[in-house]
Amino acid sequence: MLKKLKILSCFKSPVLFILVLSSIVFAQSGGQFAIKKSVIAGGGGRSSGGTYTADGTIGQPVVGENNGGNFRLNSGFWGGGQTGGSVRPTLFDYDGDGRADLSVRRPSDNIWYLLQSTAGFTGITWGVVGDRMAPADYDGDGRTDVAVFRPSTGQWFVVNSSNLTFTTYSWGQDGDLPVPTDRDNDGRADLVLFRPSTSTWYPRSTATGPLTPTQFGAAGDKPMVGDFDADGIGDTAVYRPS
């Protein structure tokens, strides 16, 4: 034991001592855990002393609260971690708390009634008779925006929740069905239309413009909104009532 202590005492920098310890950590396992805002130094730079030089030491980003069941640590470093809240956008989440909210639009007066799970109740008048609902997160702030598609003119009218301004897009024609979803993985919903007469999907990125059309579906199919393979990109999908 004295011999081991003598060896450790020759190290001049605590950085190397930490690296040596991390290299000999074996697999550990345990029961319940909770991590709240743990931070380990960011690392980087160069440290030297005696007969060693350490370049680009490993650091650890800040993690949010994690709670879970059993855990296993197979090395000396934790993974990057994740926040305790929702890490993926939720459809019809108007207040950005990660939970879907109850919402209806009354065609007779074009009033949207939003019962938000955190922000509470609110109402907004938006659209005209004949418009189709097209709510989605167009401005990328993590909240669903109130929006409509007007088949008679092929226009989209969006209320941006981030700054309460509105944006108008021209994309589509009478008979098209709006299916807004993020097709280019930039965190913002894109203008996607399904044309029942030809079973063709027409996507347009809100950032870069028209994307490649896709023919998928059959007569009577209903377009569906969703990221079914969890890759961050909205998928082309239909429900076939027959």
The answer to whether residue 81 is domain-embedded is no
Tally of structural domains, the chain: 1
Kindly tell me if the per-residue pLDDT of 59 is higher than 80: no
**Residue that wins the pLDDT comparison between 185 and 26:** 185
Round the average pLDDT of the chain to a whole number and report it: 77
The answer to whether residue 186 is domain-embedded is yes
Range of the domain at 128: 89-239
Per-residue pLDDT averaged across 36-55, rounded?
A: 52
Confidence of residue 91 (pLDDT cuts 50, 70, 90): confident
The answer to whether residue 38 is domain-embedded is no
The answer to whether residue 172 is domain-embedded is yes
The answer to whether residue 29 is domain-embedded is no
Which CATH number fits the domain that encloses residue 111? Answer: 2.40.128
What is the pTM assigned to this prediction? 0.64
State the pLDDT at residue 74. Answer: 44
The answer to whether residue 35 is domain-embedded is no
DSSP state letters, the chain? -HHHHHHHTT---HHHHHHHHHHTPPPEEES-EEE-S--B----SEEEETTEEEES---B-----EEES-EEE-SSS------SS-SS--TT-SSSSSS--EEEEETTTTEEEEEETTTEEEEEE---TT-EE--B-SSSSSSPBPEEEETTTTEEEEE-TTTS-EEEEE---TT-EE--B-SSSSSS-BEEEEETTTTEEEEEETTTEE---EE---TT-EEE---TT-SSSPPPEEE---
Kindly tell me if the per-residue pLDDT of 31 is higher than 70: no
The fraction of the chain above a pLDDT of 90, given in percent, is 61
Mean pLDDT is lowest, of 14-18, 103-107, 220-224, for: 14-18
Let me know: does 60 contact 77? Beta carbons within 8 Å.
Answer: yes
Specify the pairing of strand 209-210 against strand 222-224: unpaired
The answer to whether residue 191 is domain-embedded is yes
The answer to whether residue 7 is domain-embedded is no
**Can you tell me the distance from the alpha carbon of 201 to that of 217, in angstroms, rounded to the nearest whole number?**
9
Kindly tell me if the per-residue pLDDT of 213 is higher than 60: yes
The fraction of the chain above a pLDDT of 70, given in percent, is 63
